[in-house]
Amino acid sequence: MTTAATLTLWSDGLLSKWGFNDGDEPDAYLDWCDEHGHPYPDDWHTVLRTLVRTRLAPALDQRVELVDIETNHNPIRAERVDGQDVTDLWRKTEPGLTLSPESVEVPFADVLALYATESKP
């Protein structure tokens, strides 16, 4: 049985400046692109923001308000969780808050389809 390669979006990534692999493309995803002859995304931050908004945020048990940040680090973070300001957690090494579910999985093929569609004129 073959399991599809997936990107794990960890919920606690929303609470950290360094979340979601510090905003960088995951090496496993880039390796998968190389193995299958697919191009890398032109703008990973845009892809990541879309994945968080469409896959992670809707799955969360908490009400999370997101904010986009122009940075070299994690570009999308939680500003409020259930109405509570959580921006003071962004620079802490331990989040101090638990989001559930802990993560969601997105098949690499879905990631590829997302930026292939968004990059068309």
CA gap 28, 50 in Å, rounded:
19
The predicted-structure confidence for 13-65, as pLDDT tens digits, reads as follows: 999 999 999 999 999 999 999 999 999 999 999 999 999 999 999 999 999 99
pLDDT at 121: 46
Query: Distances from the Cα of 80 to the Cαs of 3, 45, 49, 92, in angstroms?
Result: 35, 21, 16, 16
CA gap 7, 82 in Å, rounded:
26
pLDDT at 1: 42
Q: What is the mean pLDDT of the chain?
A: 93
> Whats the size of the chain, residue-wise?
121
Q: Are strands 103-107 and 84-85 parallel, antiparallel or unpaired?
A: unpaired
pLDDT at 69: 97
